[in-house]
Each structure stands twice: as structure tokens, then as C-alpha cells.
Structure 1
């Protein structure tokens, strides 16, 4: 009995240590904090059941077992979510991860997992996305990826190659550091607050694309807005409508400088920016209240460790 207790304690300790990485894997696959949490929690429950089953062989590599289990669960969720997302009202954007200067944030994103990247990943098939994320982002071998997607290593290599080509063609290229990114976002914020149309246009790429997600629950643009002047007028229209009641506060959104919109002390929106060539090339504004649960804090606290 003591041996079983020790094994269970070892599994629990390793799970706790791996939890941030597991959440990052699941979130990168799903673009949803809540669904990522559910996948990680279910993987822990399965591990707990497995180690209690006398007919189950001892799991020697708990880390590999958990990453595979979480990835499989996330892939199943991603497949079932495709239809729901196709029927979504307006643009579907990932749930943003907002860090308010707290280094203990439970989800540690790979630097490539910006909102802009997650939007591009949505256009991949579930298998392509899984192969790309697990191999290119998290460094799993194609043999390990094959255990998740149920295909040969050679097939997974092809999946990742197709995904990589698609991502290379569509994902914005970041060529500014965090300080320059913040300076440009601050200039955007100042222009919006001051109603400065020319100043706003100056920080926007001529072909900037703005997407907003209200989920049919709150007001948002149902289609992408393209072009510096159109985006600038849209933002100033929002400022004119709400005035000083809407406060845009600096924040870190998916690892990059962004903004959090607050109305009467409540989070109203989260805005992420892709910056290239000294200007903003993409804007993602999330207003759906269901996707703002983590905007005021950190993910990872909803579930315990079993």
C-alpha cells in the first residue's frame, strides 16, 4: 500500500510541475482557455485512474503520457468544435490571455502563440494544426505526433509541412522588439483617446485588418475591417459613442503589448496587435463576455490537482 501511495504522490507531483506546459499545449491547439483547462483536468483524471488500476502497467514516462493524453483530448475537442465555430455569429477569435504583470501566470505561452498566429491556425485542419503545434512549437517527434493523430510519422511530417507552408504565407512577420511594439500600441491608444484621425492612420499599415468578436452577445463588426482609414474611423466612432466611459489600459496580451478596454471598472474588451514595419498590420478585438473570463486574472485556478 505504501508503494502505491508513493507512486500516486509522485504522479501528482509530476502533474503539478507539468501543468503549465500541458495548459500551453492544449491552449495552442484549441485557442480556448476553458477547453484547455478541461482537457488538462481530464488527462489528470485518466492518469489517476490508470495508476489505481492493478491491471495497468506502470507508466514510466509520465510527462510523455500526459502530453499525449492532453493532445488527444484537445484534438477530439477541436474536431467537434469545428461545426460550432462555423455557425458562430461574426468572427471567431481565440480567448485572449491577459497578463497583468504577474510572473506567476499559470499558462506560459510559446512566443509564437500570438493572437495573430492563433487566428491563422484556425484555418488549418485539426490534424494539420496538431502536427504543426506539437512538432514545430513544442518539439515533439513525428513518432510522438503520430500517437496523437493516429497516423504514421511520415504522414505527420507531411501534415506539418503543409501547415508550415500555410502559416508562413499568412502569419504576420514580427520585426520589432517588445519596446517598439509597446511604443506603437501606446501611439494607437493616444490617438484613439485624443480623437486624432491623422495620428491613428499614421500608426496603421495601409492594409491593416481588424477583426472583432462579440459572439452575437455584444456589438461588434461581423466582418473584418480592412484599410487604415476604415479602421481609424471605426475606432474613433467607438470612442465618440462611449467617450471617457471607455478606458483603454495597457496590458500584455498573449505575450505581446496590447490593450484592455474597461467600462465602469469592468472588462469590456481585449485588443491584440500584430506589428510589422513600424506599423500595426492586424488588430484582434475580443468582446464576447464568455471569452473575457481570464482577462482580469490568470488561467489555471479553476481546477485543483485532483
Structure 2
């Protein structure tokens, strides 16, 4: 349960269906509640230590914020970066309902729909209260933000915290830091990759946090190491060197201490001390001494 151990309890839940939510690493109870509200399209309502999930909090009580009545000051914020014009008004209001002679009149709560009227500025709009602050000692001069929608700064901070990777902090198996660069690790610690400007490693793990290189690239020294099997349709390069006993240079010249071939060998010239074979077929054989067999019946020329 998201509220377990927090001291909060569940109040009214006006959503009865099922939703799937993606919880980020390190998310707290507030983050879980906000994600549930976002996925259900509902709104959270806190009443002391009781949390309710409502389809819409607040109501239209017919309240007006009007210059010359209860409106003290107004600041208009317009945000058009998203392609949709988002408008908010930050206003100072006099809460008339706290005065004995106006008790019960012009009462409002967070989430209510209200009218804001300022004839001098040509403002006459109906929007919702999205932020409400007041003095707990005397609720008379309060501040209210009403908007068609502007993201609250706390929601912005939460979104940044839950969608970015902090330095040397793991998130979804990814860590970014100044020492190793980007580190990507499997959940079971059986594989890991390390990326930075000096090297690239893909490593095999033992499940306990110990790793050995399977692929290692060193771009500065132009060294690339692979363990076990490398499969490719084609290799293109200057030279091939395997140990000290086999090499092929860029002209195609091969050196080896031994070889086994099946099939056909073609060459313009074959030089060697001895040539052995059960069957040799050729147009011409030339030499200072030719013997058809090592011993027994043979022809010597």
C-alpha cells in the first residue's frame, strides 16, 4: 500500500476501474499518489491525514473576484510554449466570509470555479483555483492563483526528479557519473556495459557484482579486444596476426608453421624442400633429380 507507514489513510475513491502505473526508482508515497491521479484523470484531496481521489475537487459556488469588491491586485501569466495558450492569474483577495458581517458569503476552496472581473484591464473570465495561500492566524488577506492550467512548481520539480538520472544514481539500471561515464547493468548482474570517451566495455557478470570483459574498445590506442567467438560475413583490414606463427599482410602474403587443406590448391610457383603426395598431376615436372618412389621399384631420372 502506498500510504502504509505514513500515517495517512484512504478517504473517498471516486475511480472504480484499474490502471497500470510506472513507478520510478526511489519514488515516495506522494509520487505514487500523483502518478495514480495522473493515470486515472482524478484529483487528490487532502483533509488533514485523509487522502481522497476525486473525479473533480471543488465546485462552482458563484464566487466572484471583482476589482473594487474583494480583489486587491492581479498579475496575469501567459505561457504559450506548448502551442496552447495557458493563462493564470495571481491575485490578492480579501476574504469577506471571514468578517462577521459577511459570514458565509463568498466562501471558496481550492479547486472551485470562480469568476475574475477587472473592468479596467478588460478581464472577465471563469477559471479554477489551482493554488490558495493564507495566514493561519487571520484568514483575511489571501493569495489565490486561478488558471485554465499552469503546472504547479512542485509538480514540475517532481517530474524532473522522476524523469532524469542524477549523478552516480541508478535509475532503470542506468548510472551516469564522472568516473565511469554511462554504466548500464542488468537487473541480475549477469551483464554490464560501460561507455565513456576513453573506452567501451561489454562485460559478463557472475550475478554477484564481479565482471570480466567480453568486448573492450580503446579508441585512443586503437586496440579492440574480443573474447570467444566473433562471427562476421566479411572482414576488411590491413593485416591479420594470430599469435607468433600465423600472419597475413596487406598484400595477401601468408606465413604459417603448418596447414591442412581439402580441395584444390592453385599457385603459379610452389617452392619447398619436399613435396609429398599420393597423386600428383601436372603438365611438366622439372628438376636436377627426379625419383618416382622413395624405395623399391622406381624410375630415377
TM-score relative to the length of structure 2: 0.20
Higher RCO by CA contacts (8 Å cutoff, separation 6 or greater): 1
Larger Rg over CA atoms? 2
TM-score relative to the length of structure 1: 0.19
More strand by share: 2
More helix by share: 1
